[in-house]
């Protein structure tokens, strides 16, 4: 179970609501459907589906099509397909009719090593971007109902740890051990717009809006805030404290920004921190203020937010529980 540390001045926090599902083996990826009525869980190499109603989970089905751990899950709002990536080097596009059929639509197998992260173009849903331990970023385009590699970026000399797509779908940032790369969608192509060298190894990047993204370094108790300057380049303006501890981590709990609640979810070691995001009135920058810190007993913690930001789902290697927390107004 977890302990919580929070400021008395905060109005809303994520609070446990009693729903727990025991899973002895690691659950490292999660995704909600658009209506928050289904929860998809990467349970080792299996995809599990749960119904979700008023914070209550009910197991429905399980599918075993991957050979290794599922590293990420994404739900496509328009097509209602599920996209899973895995340490078996593959991506699977699952049908929206999963509850009635176990057949998947397509398996993508162009990577040579583990796939660590995915990003989806959110509007037309015609691009999948994958980052891998094989040191490549692949841009997959949908043509005639099939996904094919349109472009592959190499030369990072490092695994691709994190990807983040701007909500408008026109920019993408990638994180390797040495560089943050900014891609721009222009004339139906993805082009490299900026390459930022960083001296500190990190595992997470996340767009807040077109002007701002954050980078979380490892072994540090802060994250960097990058903002867009007048030349159209992202530069680091300042750094924001994240927690009092900083130790080794993994990348499978991505940084998340929820526009509905204006919050950022950032995992650091055995803590999950929730930051309230506000625009500074005197400066054209965003302020990040700690809203809540949820402390777990171990570092192996994974989770996600529902689309509306009302629910936080986590699994940790101490309790062995999938737990549900709700965004609740404090008395």
Q: Please list the pLDDT of the chain residue by residue as tens digits (331 residues).
A: 554 544 445 589 999 998 899 999 999 999 999 999 999 999 999 999 999 999 999 999 999 999 999 999 999 999 999 999 999 999 999 999 988 888 899 999 999 999 999 999 999 999 999 999 999 999 999 998 999 999 999 867 899 999 999 999 999 999 999 999 999 999 999 999 999 999 888 899 999 999 999 999 887 778 999 999 999 999 987 777 766 555 557 889 999 999 999 999 999 889 999 999 987 766 666 889 999 999 999 999 999 999 999 999 999 999 999 999 999 998 7
pLDDT at 243: 60
Which pLDDT score is estimated for 331? 79
Number of domains in the chain: 1
The pLDDT assigned to 246 comes to 55
pLDDT-above-90 percentage for the chain: 79
The pLDDT, as a whole number, for residue 242 is: 65
CA angle (33, 215, 257) in 5-degree steps: 25
Rounded Cα distance between 76 and 260, Å, is: 18
Given this model, what pLDDT does residue 22 score?
95
Distances in Å between the Cα of 241 and the Cα atoms of 152, 220, 249, 273 are 35, 9, 17, 11
**Coil/strand/helix, residue 293:** strand
How far, in Å, are 14, 138, 207, 262, 319 from residue 120 at the CA level? 27, 12, 13, 21, 32
CATH of the domain at 95: 2.130.10.10
82-86 and 91-94 strand pairing: antiparallel
Query: If you ran DSSP here, which 8-state letter would residue 246 be given?
Result: -
**Left (φ > 0), alpha (ψ -120 to 50) or beta: where does 226 sit?**
beta
Q: In which domain, by residue range, is 236 found?
A: 3-329
Rg of the chain over Cα atoms, rounded to whole angstroms, equals: 19
- What value, to the nearest 5°, has the Cα angle with vertex 164 and ends 301 and 191? 155
The answer to pTM > 0.75 is yes
The pLDDT, as a whole number, for residue 7 is: 44
């Amino acid at each position: 179970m977890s302990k919580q540390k929070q400021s008395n001045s905060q109005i809303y926090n994520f609070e446990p609501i009693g729903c727990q599902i025991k899973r002895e083996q690691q659950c490292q990826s999660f995704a909600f459907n658009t209506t928050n009525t289904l929860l998809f869980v990467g349970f080792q190499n299996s995809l599990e589906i749960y119904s979700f109603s008023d914070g209550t989970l009910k197991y429905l089905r399980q599918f075993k099509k991957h050979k290794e751990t599922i590293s990420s899950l994404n739900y496509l709002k328009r097509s209602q397909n599920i996209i899973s990536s895995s340490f078996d080097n593959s991506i699977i596009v699952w049908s929206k009719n999963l509850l009635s059929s176990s057949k998947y639509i397509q398996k993508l197998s162009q990577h040579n090593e583990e796939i660590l992260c995915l990003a989806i173009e959110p509007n037309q849903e015609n691009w999948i971007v994958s980052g891998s331990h094989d040191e490549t970023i692949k841009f997959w385009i949908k043509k005639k109902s099939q996904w094919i590699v349109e472009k592959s970026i190499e030369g990072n000399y490092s695994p691709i740890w994190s990807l983040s797509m701007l909500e408008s779908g026109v920019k993408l940032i990638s994180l390797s051990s040495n560089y943050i790369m900014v891609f721009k969608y222009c004339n139906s192509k993805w082009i490299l717009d900026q390459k930022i060298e960083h001296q500190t190894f990190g595992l997470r990047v996340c767009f807040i809006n077109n002007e701002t993204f954050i980078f979380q370094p490892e072994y540090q108790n802060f994250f960097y805030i990058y903002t867009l300057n007048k030349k159209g380049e992202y530069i680091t303006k300042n750094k924001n404290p994240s927690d009092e501890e900083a130790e080794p981590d993994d990348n499978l709990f991505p940084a998340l920004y929820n526009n509905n609640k204006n919050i950022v979810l950032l995992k650091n070691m055995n803590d999950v921190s929730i930051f309230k995001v506000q625009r500074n009135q005197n400066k054209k920058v965003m302020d990040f203020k700690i809203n809540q810190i949820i402390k777990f007993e171990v570092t192996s913690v994974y989770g996600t937010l529902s689309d509306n930001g009302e629910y936080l789902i986590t699994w940790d290697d101490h309790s062995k529980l999938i737990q549900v927390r709700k965004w609740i107004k404090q008395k």
